[in-house]
Amino acid sequence: MHFVSSLAGLAAVSGLALAQSPPLSDYSPEDIQSGAAFKDVSNTADGRMRDNINGRNQACTYDNAQVRQEFRAMPKEQRKSFTDAVTCLHHTPPQRMTDAERPNYPGVFTRYDEFVATHINYTTQIHMTADFLAWHRFFIHALEQDLRNLCGYTGYMPYWDWAADAAAPQDSEVFNGDEWSMGGNGEYVPNRSNTWLGTMQINLPPGTGGGCVQNGPFNDFVTNLGPVSSPYGDENVQGHFDHNRRCLTRDLNPAISSQYNSYKNVTDLILGEIYIEDFQQLMQGYGGHDNALGVHGGGHWLGGGPSQLEDFHSSPNDPVFFLHHGMIDRIWIIWQNLDINGRQNIIHGTSTLNNDPPSDPMQLSDMIPFGFVADDQVFGDLMDNFGGPYCYRYE
C-alpha cells in the first residue's frame, strides 16, 4: 500500500487527475528501445513545464531560465571552457575548510577536493534517503556556481545522455579523447577477471580500459581522496579523508551500460513508477527490484573498475560524475513535470541509508547539510528547478 509521502503532497492530491503520465502501452517496444518514446515523453513534460511556469507570474520564467544542454550539443568552445574551468577548480585552494579542520582532512588540497570530501562525509545520509535527488541537485548546482564565480566559466552545467551511448560508451564522442571531450577512456589493461560486487550480488566483467586516462582534457588529472568503499579492497584508504594521490582511471564498460542505462531503462523508470518511493528505489537499484544497479548505479559502474567513478563515497573525483548526475536530475524533472501538481513536492524516506540506523521520516522543513560545499539548505527549497536557488531547465 502506498501513502501520500508528505503534507505538501497531500495538498496536491486533488490535482493528480489534471495531468497524468502517459502509459507505457502507448509506445511500441521499438520506440522504447530506440529512445523515440523517451524523446516524446521529454517533450510532453517540457510542454507541461512551460505551461506551469508561465502561469506562476514570477521572475524566473521558462524563457529566461538557464538552459543546460547535453554535452555534445554544446559548441566545442564551450565544452573546452567547461573542462578548463573544472581543471581550474582543481587547482584552486580550498574555500571553506578552516585551518582548524585541516588536520582532519589530509587529502583535501583544492576547492574541487572540498566537493569530493563533502560527498564522502555524507554518503550514508544522501543515498537511499528522502533527499537523495534534492541533495545531488544542489551539489551539481554548487559546482556550476563555483565554475562560474571562481574560474570564469560563462556557460551552465552540461549533462551526459548516457542512454544514447549505452551500447558502447567507449565509442562515445564524450570520451574520444580530443580537446573538446571529457577526456578519453583508460589505457587498456588485458588479462583481467570478473569482480564480484557483493552488495549488488552481480559479477562485473572487465571493461574496455582499466588504466590511467591517456588523452584529452583530464589526461594529467590527479585525484587526492579515496577510494573508500571500492570492491577492489587493496585500493581503499584506511581513513575516509586520507591523502591518496593517483591518476584518473576509467574502464568504460558496455556490459553495465547496456543492461542498466538504456533508453528502455529510463522510459520504464519514468512511466512505470508513479510513486516517489518506487521511482527513487528503482532509480538507485536497491530493494526488491530485479535491477541491481538502477540507472543511477549503472551510470557509476559503467566507469568500470577500479575507477574513481565506481567508488560509492569518492565518485565525484571523476568530473563525469557531475554530467551523470545532470542526467539523473533531468530524469527527475521529467518525472515531476508529467504530473507537477502531484509530484513537485513529494518526498519519502528518512535521512539514513535504507533507514539504517533507523531515523525519523524527513520533512520539507528539514535543513540539509552541505559541508565544505555551501551553507545548509532548506529541503523544500531544493525541490523546484524554477524556485529557491534555481532558475534552469534542460534541453
The domains of the chain, with CATH numbers, are: 7-394 (1.10.1280.10)
What is the model's pLDDT at position 99? 96
pLDDT value, residue 287: 53
Q: What is the pLDDT of residue 291?
A: 83
**pLDDT value, residue 232:** 85
pLDDT, residue 389, reads 97
SS (H, E, C) the chain: CCCCCCHHHHHHHHHHHHCCCCCHHHCCHHHHHHCHHHHHHHHHHHHHHHHHHHCCCCCCCCCCCEEECEHHHCCHHHHHHHHHHHHHHCCCCCCCCCCCCHHHCCCCCCHHHHHHHHHHHHHHHCCCCCCHHHHHHHHHHHHHHHHHHHHCCCCCCCECCHHHHCCCHHHCHHHECCCCCCCECEEECCCCCCEEECCCCEEECCCCCEEEECCCCCCCCEECCCCCCCCCHHHCCCCCCCCCCEECECCCCHHHHHHHCCHHHHHHHHHHCCCHHHHHHHHHCCCCCCCCCHHHHHHHHCCCCCCHHHCCCCHHHCCHHHHHHHHHHHHHHHHHHHCHHHHCCCCCCECCHHHCCCCCECCCCCEECCCCCCCCEEHHHHCCCCCCCCCEEEC
**pTM of the predicted protein model:** 0.94
Instruction: Give the mean pLDDT per block of 10 residues along the chain (395 residues).
Output: 41 46 94 98 97 91 97 98 98 98 98 98 97 98 98 98 98 98 97 88 92 96 96 89 98 96 97 96 76 94 94 97 98 97 97 96 98 98 97 97
pLDDT value at residue 286: 65
